[in-house]
Amino acid sequence: MSHNSFGHLFRVTSWGESHGPAIGGVIDGCPPGLPLAEADIQPFLDRRRPGQSRFTTQRQEADQVRILSGTYEGRTTGTPISLLIENTDQRSKDYGAIVDRYRPGHADLAYELKYGLRDPRGGGRSSARETAVRVAAGAVARLVLGPAVRVRGALVQVGPHRIDPARWEWDEVDRNPFWCPDAGTVPVWEAYLDAVRKAGSSAGAVVALEADGVPPGLGAPLYGKLDAELAGALMSINAVKGVEIGEGFASAELTGEQNADPMRMQAGQIAFGSNHAGGILGGISTGQPILARFAVKPTSSILTPVPSVTRGGEEVEVMTKGRHDPCVGIRAVPVGEAMLACVLADHLLRHRGQTGR
């Protein structure tokens, strides 16, 4: 079952609410003997951490991860790795106003319809805070994949403003608060998001992911396909509404010969002339870079009032005063990377299990 777990051989189980004492996760199935300490995870959490620019929530969380099990003398033992991150800055009073009213676009109503009750503090389980656990697990997944596999992400669209792919520079990604690979777009987004923030509104975004060095053969027909599980993993991230592999929706407009990635021999190896497939054919990696994109809807918690109702059935206007990301898509970049890393690590182990390769 997979209510709060994902992966099979590299399996992550996540727990925790936004305003409980802590959040955390358990990684089961990690190969033994890998060097692992908190310092291997913390840098990835620091990248995701809020409050680092005016474009993300001002909530301050140290996001210090602790490893409670599964390592001995700095190496993984093959037993479950328990990760814990304390919640230090919960201002639950900020949310008092929305205990009895459903924020439009948010999970408030859905949780209550399902469970008959909900933890309203900071969105409870539905809070984007949980993505810290995914990022921590992704850091471990990277160790499983090894240094030959490089998993990267970038923000490629904020609201209506897209980057110019021709100006893509990976080095630029770490130089601005947006993980934007196109220096020319940075000031456009700054101006746009400042206006959005001042208007008490929020903006959607699109994230692009790439994994290089992925060995061929990962994935499995027909429901354990690499792209199918990646789509599920990315769509499970808060606020994601669309996922593409390779050419994605644009492939619908191509003809068969345009879409086919031609093959030639190069130094004794098969070389592809293009990568419309996004590195996956028939659900199995080909050795080309894995390419995926996902769309993040605008943050639902906004200062602008939206018509809604209360638990008691009264009609109200809801505005959410807490500290929110004007564009939650920004912090989705490290989260998307982490999910991609986890899916790849799981499939690496599954492939090795079945084929011995």
Q: Which of residues 98-137 bind its own copies (CB under 8 A)?
A: 102, 104-107, 109-111, 113-119, 121, 124-126, 130
* Secondary structure (DSSP) of 257-301: HHHS--EEEETTEEEES--TTTTEETTEE-SSPEEEEEEEPPPS-
Scanning 36-44, 135-143, 167-175, 295-303 for contacts with its own copies by CB under 8 A, the matching segment is 295-303
C-alpha 302/C-alpha 40 separation (Å) is 35
Contact stretch for its own copies (CB under 8 A) within 41-49, 163-171, 173-181, 237-245: 237-245
Measured distance CA(284)–CA(347) in Å, rounded:
10
Interior angle at CA 285, CA 281 and CA 349, nearest 5? 140
Among 286, 289, 290, 333, binds its own copies (CB under 8 A): 286
Q: Which of 68, 91, 146, 184 binds its own copies (CB under 8 A)?
A: 68
Choose between 165 and 282: whose C-beta lies nearer to its own copies: 282
Cβ count within 10 A of residue 82 = 16
As beta bridge partners, residue 210 has 152, 291
Minimum gap (Å) between residue 212 Cβ and its own copies:
17
Distance CA 321, CA 327 (A): 16
Instruction: Mention every residue, 6+ apart, whose C-beta is less than 8 A from residue 5.
Output: 11, 12, 13, 14
Write out the two tokens for 104: 């439009």
Nearer to its own copies, 171 or 264 (CB): 264
Does the protein bind its own copies through residue 147 (CB under 8 A)? no
- Asked if 248 contacts 259 with a C-beta cutoff of 8 angstroms, the reply is no
Pick one of 3, 166, 174, 267: the residue that binds its own copies (CB under 8 A): 3
Going residue by residue from 323 to 342, which x/- string records binding to its own copies, judged by CB under 8 A? Answer: ------x-------------
Binding flag, residue 289, its own copies (CB under 8 A)? no
Closest CA to 129 of 38, 22, 236: 22
Give min distance, CB of 304 to its own copies, in A. Answer: 5
If the CB atoms of residues 43 and 116 are measured against its own copies, the closer one turns out to be 116
Q: Which is nearer to its own copies, 109 or 188 (CB)?
A: 109
The CA-atom distances, in angstroms, between 52 and each of 14, 19, 72, 89, 321 are 25, 20, 33, 15, 20
Near its own copies in 22-61, by CB under 8 A: 22-24, 26, 28-33
How many CB atoms lie under 10 A from the CB of residue 175?
13
Report the residue from 39, 93, 171, 253 that binds its own copies according to the rule CB under 8 A: 253
Of 40-48, 50-58, 167-175, 240-248, which part binds its own copies (CB under 8 A)? 240-248
Which 165-194 positions form the footprint of its own copies (CB under 8 A)? none
Instruction: Please name every residue paired with 330 in a beta bridge, in sequence order, or none if there are none.
Output: none
Helix (H) / strand (E) element for 158: namely strand 150-158
Q: Does 242 bind its own copies (CB under 8 A)?
A: yes
In this complex, which beta carbon is closest to its own copies, that of residue 171 or of residue 255?
A: 255
Among residues 118 and 142, whose Cβ is nearest to its own copies?
118
Q: Which helix (H) or strand (E) holds 333?
A: helix 328-355
Instruction: Assess 275 for contact with its own copies (CB under 8 A).
Output: no
DSSP-derived pairing of the beta strands 290-296 and 240-245: antiparallel
Least distance (Å) between residue 82 CB and its own copies: 4
Stretch that binds its own copies, among 39-47, 52-60, 157-165, 179-187 (CB under 8 A): 157-165
Instruction: Mark the segment that binds its own copies (CB under 8 A) among 41-49, 51-59, 168-176, 236-244.
Output: 236-244
Q: How far apart are CA 131 and CA 123, in angstroms?
A: 13
Per the CB < 8 A criterion, the answer to whether 127 and 103 are in contact is no
